[in-house]
Chain A
């Protein structure tokens, strides 16, 4: 994989092996590749099939985050928490088309995911001190990768979408006959809390709170917010993966309840 422009460059120590690493450096990019691919595959299947994304009972109404907000005439009755803005969608068009592109953009431009997919998918580099296979490299200086600089705008959209998800989670406590509390509520609330943690721990959020200023002492409130964002930011990778898992788990749980495969464990109502 090494090129004559890389570790084989004239003048550098002449070593035949492209890398001398003896550990299993390929495991991390492989796991990342499989994990992200699995999520994308699951998401594609679930958003394209558009079944079992909503279930309502006496004390609950669970809407999958993959279909939220559901704003078309194609949505099941009761699932359109924000009204219907569009007519019927053709098959395969995601019900949450108004938010999915922004969520995808938020994750794609996220500083953690960039590291993950640059390493696992583009092998740039596959691991530290392991040569990348590309002959030339311009980083994020040209189109399309220069668009990574739009991350903060996707962050703003992600905040709005998190508010929508929060509303869904609160509304999930109410069914056709009033208030209730079940395992599905725990799943939905847990998912929303983790989504907020991931969103507010974003590097752009950290910059916006106070990262851009040089005198924290003159802005104590902003500095307090910055410290909270920094705490979450230190766990950004873990939250990035955990939220992929909770999104899938929440959607799968609702799909299983909706299809009648399992019953929602009810605590109240």
Chain B
């Protein structure tokens, strides 16, 4: 079944822009990225849109669909009624480059700040041995495709641009959790780093990051809250501090 659907697509650049109206053909089984490509091919050849795999694995086609951060390639058109006008805008947390393309370099800067995996000194490459049960928590976070939907929906930076210096965002807090929970990571200061450098205390766990994650990573429950609890161990819990001082508890 094919039908003509109405779309509002944000067109513009750093100097300004607006929502432009289009009517585009939609065919059965298509996703929104298919329609955007048809729009590009038939009516707006200069429409800028970032995409790559069309399979929800590269994280390139992040945008906001009817106000919700989504992957264009994973938004099925049959989730809309034919009469509905679908609005597509760029991510509203990052500076726009043009049309649906934004400058997400904020995320790359935050990624660079995280200390890399530190292997144990007494093991050479090839000697690492880990039980599956010990690494599976970290493996959940390795599913991240870096689409930055969690980063764009997080109100800490979305609604407060001035927090971008102090707050790393959900994607990099799961990276912190991934490394801190890793059975072979030798660093012992990742909880302190999460608090002091990544601003984990700014997260008020309202779970929007989890809601938009296309990989269904339990960002809040499995990464951020466990990291917050580890921060409590190191910084706020007097009994844990006392236990570590008198040798009852290993760090």
Contacts and interface: CB of A to CB of B under 8 A. Distances in A.
Interface in B9-24: 10, 12, 14, 16-19
A115 interface: yes
B204 A118 contact: yes
B202 A140 contact: yes
A137 interface: yes
Interface in B178-204: 180-183, 185, 199, 201-204
Contacts of B203: 139-140
A146 to B, nearest CB: 7
Contact of A137 (B18, B182, B202, B226): B202
Given A13-B10, A14-B12, A6 B159 contact: yes
B8 to A, nearest CB: 9
B206 A124 contact: yes
Nearest to A2: B159
Interface in B52-94: 64, 66-69, 84, 87, 89-90, 92-94
A3 B155 CA distance: 12
Contacts of A137: 155-156, 159-160, 163, 202
B133 interface: yes
A198 B69 CA distance: 32
Contact of B221 (A2, A151, A233): A233
Given A5-B160, A125-B208, A11 B14 contact: yes
A128 B17 contact: no
Contact of A214 (B18, B181, B204): B181
A214 B183 contact: yes
A177 interface: no
B207 A129 contact: no
Interface residues of A, number: 54
Given A13-B12, A125-B155, A203-B221, A216 B134 contact: yes
A16 B153 CA distance: 18
Given A137-B156, A141-B199, A216-B133, A15 B68 contact: no
Contacts, number: 163
A212 B229 contact: yes
Interface in A198-236: 203-204, 206-207, 211-212, 214-217, 223, 233-234
A207 B226 contact: yes
A141 B202 contact: yes
Contacts of A23: 66
Contacts of A114: 204-205
A46 interface: no
Contacts of B219: none
26 contacts: A6-B158, A7-B158, A11-B14, A13-B17, A14-B16, A15-B10, A23-B66, A111-B220, A111-B225, A124-B204, A129-B92, A129-B158, A130-B67, A131-B155, A132-B155, A139-B199, A141-B199, A141-B202, A149-B235, A150-B236, A152-B232, A212-B229, A214-B134, A214-B182, A216-B134, A234-B221
Interface of A: 2-3, 5-7, 9, 11-15, 19-23, 111, 114-115, 118-119, 124-125, 128-132, 134, 136-141, 145-146, 149-152, 203-204, 206-207, 211-212, 214-217, 223, 233-234
Pairs A-B, 9 closest by C-beta atoms: A139-B202, A21-B67, A20-B67, A128-B208, A217-B131, A207-B229, A141-B201, A11-B95, A6-B159
Given A13-B10, A141-B199, A141-B202, 4 more contacts: A124-B204, A129-B158, A149-B228, A152-B237
